[in-house]
Amino acid sequence: MKKRYPRPQFTQGTVNRFGQSRIGDGLQVLNSNARILQPGEFTPQRQKMSQHFNQDNLGLNSERLRTMMVERLQREGIDDKRVLDAMQRVPRHHFVDEGLASHAYENAALPIGFQQTISQPWIVARMIALICEKHIPHKVLEIGAGCGYQAAVLAQLVPQVYAIERIHGLYEMAVHNIQHAPHTERIHLHYGDGLEGLPQYAPFPAILVAAAGMDLPKSLLQQLSIGGRLVAPLGQDNQYLVLIERTGTDSWTRKSLEPVRFVPLRAGIQP
Ligand code: SAH
């Protein structure tokens, strides 16, 4: 029998377990860790996905649902085959509460407890495609591991994945969840404040930040290798996904990409 991990109750700032929850700072689960769509852009296919979901036959169905998710990501502009393959390999339904598993392959953020969310699949794929665009980095640092999903997808491509989470309960959840994906041995999870990075393992040729701040500390930017890429949501009310490249010892370039909405990047740890 598989050991069951006690999931947190979704009582901390959430109204119910099924997505209509409030997570503070004007954020709703369904609009966090996600791309902000312009009118007329693609629309979610909630009904279509849910109708293929069968709780009793999850193993077989989830493969098919993942294929549908990947096909949709492709239609929505993710064209890196390596990233799409990685998204196909990781069973996202193992990273969310059982009550939400039937929504795991929709293009939506979902609550994971502690007022945090698992990022929308499109965002996960987009951020990973950006750091792998020129070549696949041999090492990556993820700040804000949450339930461990993005780290698991990264591990399908990148040989060494370092991920930090500041909320202890989520760190423990990630440690448990990543066992459901291939290449767990590539993931090194840490409990701590990601704003400090992991200087002992730096420099990193790639850094992903999964929560939004107004800016990033210079000490973190200095943990990026020269020639390396960092992708982060930046801003408060109006957030953008930003691509930062380190061009020299003391020089970085910045490029703003699409508007997004992420949970806040916070300093310190939460035991
Ligand atoms: N990567 C996740 C998304 C998690 S949501 C996924 O796979 O879907 C963002 C996470 O960032 C939250 O769990 C939050 O607790 C965490 N976070 C925010 N500030 C942080 C910090 N300074 N250090 C580490 N984690 C942080």
233-258 pLDDT per residue, tens: 999 889 999 999 999 999 999 999 99
What is the distance between the alpha carbons of residues 188 and 23, in angstroms, rounded to a whole number?
Answer: 28
Residue nearest atom 13 in ligand 1 by C-alpha distance:
146
Residue 117 in contact with ligand 1 by CB distance below 6 A: yes
Does the residue 267 lie in any domain? no
Q: What CATH number has the domain bearing residue 211?
A: 3.40.50.150
Does 14 score more than 50 pLDDT? no
Q: How far is the CA of 265 from the centre of ligand 1 (A)?
A: 7
Does the residue 159 lie in any domain? yes
Does the residue 157 lie in any domain? yes
**Quick count: other Cβ atoms within 10 Å of Cβ 59?**
8
What is the average pLDDT across 95-118?
A: 94
- Token pair of 205 as six digits: 């040729």
Predicted local confidence at residue 1, as pLDDT? 41
Distances in whole angstroms, Cα of residue 182 to Cα of each of 116, 117, 119, 151: 24, 22, 20, 11
Does 17 score more than 50 pLDDT? no
Give the DSSP letter of residue 9.
Answer: P
- Selected residue with higher pLDDT from 61 and 263: 263
| Distance in Å from the first CA to the final CA of the chain | 30
Does the residue 201 lie in any domain? yes
Which runs of consecutive H residues, i.e. helices, occur in the chain?
A: 46-50, 58-75, 81-89, 121-132, 149-155, 168-177, 218-221
Residue nearest atom 26 in ligand 1 by C-alpha distance:
144
Range of the domain at 89: 29-261
Does the residue 49 lie in any domain? yes
Phi-psi category of 137—alpha, beta or left, where left has phi over 0 and alpha has psi -120 to 50? Answer: beta
SS3 199: helix
Does the residue 186 lie in any domain? yes
Residue 105 in contact with ligand 1 by CB distance below 6 A: no
pLDDT above 70: percentage of residues in the chain: 80
Q: How confident is the model at residue 49 (pLDDT cuts 50, 70, 90)?
A: low
Does the residue 216 lie in any domain? yes
Predicted local confidence at residue 221, as pLDDT? 98
Q: How far is the CA of 145 from the centre of ligand 1 (A)?
A: 5
- Selected residue with higher pLDDT from 11 and 26: 26
Q: How confident is the model at residue 139 (pLDDT cuts 50, 70, 90)?
A: very high
Q: How confident is the model at residue 9 (pLDDT cuts 50, 70, 90)?
A: very low
Provide the domain count of the chain.
Answer: 1
Predicted local confidence at residue 19, as pLDDT? 45
SS3 247: strand
Q: What pairing do the DSSP bridges indicate for beta strands 239-248 and 224-234?
A: antiparallel
Q: Do the beta carbons of residue 149 and residue 95 sit within 8 Å?
A: yes
Does the residue 189 lie in any domain? yes
Q: Is 119 designated active site?
A: yes
